[in-house]
């Protein structure tokens, strides 16, 4: 028999359950606060990871050499697009602390249109800012469209083993008619316009269309030659192979007048521009922009197929 002072076992059990429930609620509340704070910290840090805040060195009030990278294939949706390069060039020339600009080239070429846009913008900026020189410094390769851009510079510096040149135009393709015949596949192409299926890789090659393509290539090639002659002037040595599409080493390119001398980014900044402090102006895509560009490229390839690649002139 229990006395009135002694709590019954039911009461003790209820108290234990109540305390356990309270303890569990407190633990859940603490974890909830933790995850909320972690989520808030993630949201705060995310913009810092995704946004390119630029080079903090540009804020320093010191005379410097601006460096812009031209690397990879020159194409509208790539890192080396005319938009990216021209934005970087504009920023570099607009900075009053810029003593000179170095275009760091490592490109096999690409779109003649994109290369031409960058070339013309360099000439415009050089005219607008005559006190700021622009030098192209070649690393591994400066070929075709890459050289198209480089000839807009005041001077071109190379390494003795750099690959320079490839002044020509190409339009490459494949023909699948033989394969389709063996597989029993029939091509059904409907067009409005005799030449709408221009250089269709799944149809027999049309000699008239092939001749027209050669006319296009020759005209773009002549434009390329004119740009090189105008950019290099009397420094260019006459050679029958100069505009044949051949490439040369850096040492050979100096002898041919395609380049002016040996140099690196550091040596040109230090010895030529006389401002050895380097500041990066290259437009760097953030994570979101890189994903969006890749998505655009994949969507275009998926929607249009690879047909456009069979009828597109390239400086490469």
Q: For 180-204, what is each residue's pLDDT tens digit? A: 777 788 777 777 887 787 777 777 7
Residue 68, φ and ψ in degrees, nearest 5: -130, 130
3-class SS at 35?
A: helix
Is residue 216 over pLDDT 80? yes
Is residue 9 over pLDDT 80? no
Is residue 206 over pLDDT 90? no
Q: For 131-159, what is each residue's pLDDT tens digit? A: 999 999 999 999 999 999 999 999 999 99
How far from 65 is each of 94, 121, 268, 270, CA to CA, in Å? 13, 19, 9, 9
Token output for 59: 């804020």
Within 8 A by CB and 6+ apart from 217, the residues are 169, 170, 171, 313
Beta pairing class for 64-71 and 155-158 = unpaired
Of 55-64, 169-178, 275-284, the poorest mean pLDDT is in 55-64
Is residue 307 over pLDDT 70? no
User: Smallest Cα–Cα separation from 157: which of 140, 137, 133, 134?
Assistant: 137
Give the predicted TM-score (pTM) of the model: 0.74
Beta pairing class for 134-143 and 155-158 = parallel
Give pLDDT, residue 58.
Answer: 46
- Across 50-59, 109-118, 298-307, the highest mean pLDDT is recorded for 109-118
- Whats the size of the chain, residue-wise? 316
CB of 91 closer than 8 Å to CB of 64: no
Q: For 76-133, what is each residue's pLDDT tens digit? A: 999 999 999 999 999 999 999 999 999 999 999 999 999 999 999 999 999 999 999 9
Looking at 115-229, which runs of residues are DSSP E strands? 134-143, 155-158, 163-165
Q: For 220-249, what is each residue's pLDDT tens digit? A: 999 999 999 999 999 999 999 999 999 999
Is residue 298 over pLDDT 60? no
Token output for 103: 């275009």
Residue 84, φ and ψ in degrees, nearest 5: -65, -45
- CA 244/CA 169 separation, integer angstroms: 10
Query: Mean per-residue pLDDT for 159-183?
Result: 84
Within 8 A by CB and 6+ apart from 283, the residues are 52, 84, 85, 87, 88
- CA 251/CA 158 separation, integer angstroms: 8
For 229-251, the DSSP string reads HHHHGGGSPP-TTTTTT-EEEHH
Residue 206, φ and ψ in degrees, nearest 5: -95, 125
Binned at pLDDT 50, 70 and 90, residue 286 comes out as low
CB of 51 closer than 8 Å to CB of 57: no
Of the two residues 44 and 152, the one the predictor is more confident about is 152
């Amino acid at each position: 028999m229990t006395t009135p002072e002694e709590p019954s076992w039911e009461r003790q059990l209820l108290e234990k359950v109540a305390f356990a429930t309270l303890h569990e609620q407190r633990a859940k509340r603490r974890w909830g606060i933790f995850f909320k704070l972690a989520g808030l910290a993630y949201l705060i840090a995310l913009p810092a990871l995704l946004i390119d805040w630029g080079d903090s060195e540009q804020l320093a009030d010191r005379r410097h050499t601006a460096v812009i990278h031209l690397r990879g294939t020159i194409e509208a949706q790539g890192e080396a697009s005319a938009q990216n390069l021209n934005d970087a060039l504009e920023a570099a020339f607009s900075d009053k602390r810029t003593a000179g600009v170095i275009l760091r080239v490592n490109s096999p070429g690409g779109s003649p249109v994109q290369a031409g846009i960058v070339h013309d913008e360099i000439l415009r900026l050089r005219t607008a800012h005559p006190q700021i020189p622009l030098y192209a410094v070649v690393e591994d390769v400066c070929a075709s469209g890459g050289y198209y851009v480089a000839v807009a510079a005041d001077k071109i510096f190379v390494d003795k083993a750099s690959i320079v040149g490839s002044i020509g135009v190409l339009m490459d393709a494949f023909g699948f008619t033989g394969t389709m015949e063996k597989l029993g596949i029939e091509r059904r192409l409907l067009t409005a316009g005799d030449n709408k299926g221009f250089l269709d890789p799944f149809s027999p090659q049309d000699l008239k269309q092939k001749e027209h393509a050669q006319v296009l290539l020759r005209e773009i090639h002549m434009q390329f030659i004119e740009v090189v002659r105008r950019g290099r002037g009397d420094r260019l040595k006459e050679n029958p192979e100069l505009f044949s599409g051949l490439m040369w080493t850096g040492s050979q390119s100096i002898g041919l007048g395609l380049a002016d001398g040996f140099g690196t980014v550091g040596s040109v900044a230090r010895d030529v521009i006389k401002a050895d402090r380097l500041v990066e102006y290259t437009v760097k895509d953030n994570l979101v922009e890189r994903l969006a560009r890749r998505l655009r490229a994949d969507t275009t390839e998926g929607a249009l197929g690879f047909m456009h690649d069979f009828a597109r002139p390239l400086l490469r």
